[in-house]
Amino acid sequence: MTQTSGSGRYNDRAGRNWETACARALNEHGFPAAERRGDSVHGRDLSGTWDVSVECTISEWAQIWRKLRQALGAAGEQALPYHCVWKRQKGKPDPMDGAVVTSPRVWWAMVARLEAYERAEMDAELEYRRGYRDGASGRAVEAAL
């Protein structure tokens, strides 16, 4: 007899499958070290996600706040600055069709960090071009050798 809803072993297995699918999706999208954690001691479902505590869930939307608190708790335990919940869309097995839910505090902190990084990259590019234009790049290369 196959259980299709409720709790128990079916949901545990489906949850583990979702975590594994999320880790594989991350592997394909720039996170080669992402993997499903074998334990739930830390409350964090995935490892290899840099500074982000990720809670993967197949639970109903009514449970999202509980899951978000769980992700926040795991982030605090591991001193990670960011946390989120990766929610599966019903009927869609591809994690990239799901939703990532986080708090505005976390979202805007991540956006600000990205903006600062992009600004630093642009400044470095401008300095390189300015140095190359002025002929300084050759001297800088010679000095480095």
pLDDT value of residue 44: 72
CA distance 102 to 23: 18
C-alpha closest to that of 99 among 12, 20, 22: 22
pLDDT value of residue 2: 42
Q: At what angle do helices 136-144 and 104-133 cross, to 10 degrees?
A: 100
Q: What is the pTM of this model?
A: 0.76
The percent of residues in the chain predicted with pLDDT above 70, rounded, is: 82
Task: Give the confidence band of 3 by pLDDT, cuts at 50, 70, 90.
Answer: very low
Strands annotated E in 8-109: 35-36, 46-47, 52-57, 82-87, 99-101
Task: Give the confidence band of 129 by pLDDT, cuts at 50, 70, 90.
Answer: confident
Residue 117, Cβ neighbours under 10 Å: how many? Answer: 10
23 shares a domain with 85:
yes
- Total number of domains in the chain: 2
122 shares a domain with 96:
no
42 shares a domain with 61:
yes
112 shares a domain with 94:
no
Least confident of 39-53, 58-72, 86-100: 39-53
